[in-house]
Amino acid sequence: KGEDMDLGFNIKDLVNNTRRASITKKEANSEVCTGEILGGRRKSILQVAGAIRTGVRLGSITAQTAHNNRVLYARKGGEEAGGVSTNLGGEKISVEDACNLKTMCWGGPNIVPRPEWIKTGLNFNEPEQLYAFGLKAMKGATKAFQLVVQAYILKHLLFEGKSAKKAAKEREKKKMMNSKEKNEAFSSGQNKMSTLLRPNEMIQRDILSGAIAELLWRCGDKERAVIAVPEANPVFEPPVRFSIDGLTEKLHLFRCTKEAEVLSCMKKHIYFFMQEKAGGLACLLYSIVLSKGWTDLKSDMQDQGDLPLIDTEDKITLCLSNLMLTGSATPYLHNGIMSADDDDATNFEFGDGKVGITSRNEIGFLFWERDEETTQEMNLGSRLKTPVLPIWVTCINENWGVLFNPNRDLMKSYSAENRFQLFYFSNTETKAKKDTVLTIDTRGNKIGNQMNDMDDFDEVVEDPVEKAIQSKWEGAMVDWQGIPMYV
């Protein structure tokens, strides 16, 4: 009956109309002319009735199909998770996989993740406002984790979506302009960039879906991906060694073997990942690990295969950040394979050396830790310093952020790197009510200029962001455009 009412009509009305048509037929036998008219009317009524009956059957089938396939996570991002589906689909996680997940991520099946992992989603800043392109990454390991995801979000916003393609056409037009036209276009381009970096809610959802889908596909060696989403109730009886955390024991797994399938599945479940208190962060971490697979993950981690991806001090390891950036969970940043030291007690199946970054990456990584000596010990190689796209995840004095430039061709021309701009984002609160845009000049000598302007060299304030940038562009001068420096 509920289905009938949803379709906007009542079966009783249908029955009454049919009876009236039958009575009309009897009355029509008395008068031929009248009968012909009423007979035609009865025929029309019966045709309508037949169509309505067909509609009832089709409506019932459609309603039942929609009921079976529904996903109750489809709410606006930011709403708290209320009821969740008890018929989610996918594959229920096994006890063994749940224990392995918690061991790989946190250190053991008896460990309950911090609340900021299991009670936090991937939430953007206010749509169409300052930093609308950015996630609300707050602190600790969750902030570092989200800022690596942020790099993929920026890739899809700047270089993959419709807006990005439109911006690329504008850049091509500029190449054909004279100096006056270029100046006018520059001013117009700044306004368009400001608009591009303030996406609406629909664009935020789309670029996050694309970013996560690409990330998982890369982690699965571009062969597979697994998306983990919880349902309302636990899917197994927890053993004694397993500590219930309200999320891991409820997971359903969706396995994909085609890139388009990953994106389609992610779009279907994106509202869950964007809910503020539904555990989207932990589920994304689980999806990354499951996409990689236990054997491949431990193999990539080499001599650190027994350590968790999130350490006891609530920091993400290089194994996790490298897995997200490159698809390989190596704990090292150098290019290729480095020969092991004579006293290095390594014992793994990678020959005699430690495997680092094996190829040039699309997204880069810049690192600075307190001083030059400590930084150089990390041996960051050119394959991460010089990415294909002008996007760099940064780890500066243990604070994570992202540097980026909307010009895709920046890394293709040495002359373009003489003087250029980089946007910087770390979701750090500042008094400035504008995007942080750094002007980078690689032609000067910063220290020489400072010595001329200041009587006491000891008063020079070190800029750690500049130090990280100088690890890529030696001697570069960084101008914060009046914004107080921060990390």
Give residue-wise pLDDT tens across range 12-44.
Answer: 555 455 555 554 444 444 444 444 434 455 555
- Region of poorest pLDDT, from 26-40, 123-137, 397-411: 26-40
pLDDT value at residue 153: 98
pLDDT value at residue 452: 47
Output the six-digit token pair for 147: 């800022």
Positive/negative CA dihedral, 328, 329, 331, 333? positive
**Cα separation, 93 vs 112, whole angstroms:** 17
Q: What one-character-per-residue DSSP string does 162-197 give? A: HHHHHHHHHHHHHTT--HHHHHHHHHHHHHHHHHHT
The type of residue at 12 is K
CB 208 within 8 A of CB 270: yes
CB 477 within 8 A of CB 418: no
Which of these, 274, 285, 325, 324, lies nearest to 125 by C-alpha position?
274
**Cα separation, 401 vs 218, whole angstroms:** 21
Output the six-digit token pair for 431: 């008094």
Terminal CA-to-CA distance of the chain, rounded, Å?
A: 62
pLDDT value at residue 34: 41
Output the six-digit token pair for 340: 């092991």
Output the six-digit token pair for 35: 């009968």
Per-residue confidence band for 180, with pLDDT thresholds at 50, 70 and 90: low
**Cα separation, 190 vs 292, whole angstroms:** 40
pLDDT value at residue 345: 47
Q: DSSP code of 233?
A: S
Q: Do β-strands 477-479 and 436-441 pair in parallel, antiparallel, or remain unpaired?
A: antiparallel
The type of residue at 11 is I
Helix (H, G, I), strand (E, B) or coil at 383: helix
Q: DSSP code of 402?
A: E
Asked if pLDDT for residue 73 goes beyond 50, the answer is no
Q: In what order do the strands lie in the sheet with 477-479?
A: 364-368, 391-396, 399-404, 419-425, 436-441, 477-479
Helices (H) and strands (E) in the chain, counts: 17, 11
The type of residue at 108 is G
**Cα separation, 194 vs 188, whole angstroms:** 10
Q: Which residue has the higher pLDDT, 338 or 389?
A: 389
Q: Whose structure tokens read 């996790």? A: 320
pTM of the model: 0.78
CB 376 within 8 A of CB 386: no
Helix (H, G, I), strand (E, B) or coil at 137: coil
**Cα separation, 129 vs 378, whole angstroms:** 38
| Torsions phi, psi for 198 (to 5 deg) | -125, 65
The type of residue at 82 is G
**Residue 295 CB burial class (10 angstroms; 0-12, 13-18, ≥19):** exposed
| Torsions phi, psi for 178 (to 5 deg) | -85, 180
- Region of poorest pLDDT, from 156-170, 278-292, 447-461: 447-461
pLDDT value at residue 352: 58
**Cα separation, 111 vs 96, whole angstroms:** 15
Output the six-digit token pair for 282: 């932990």
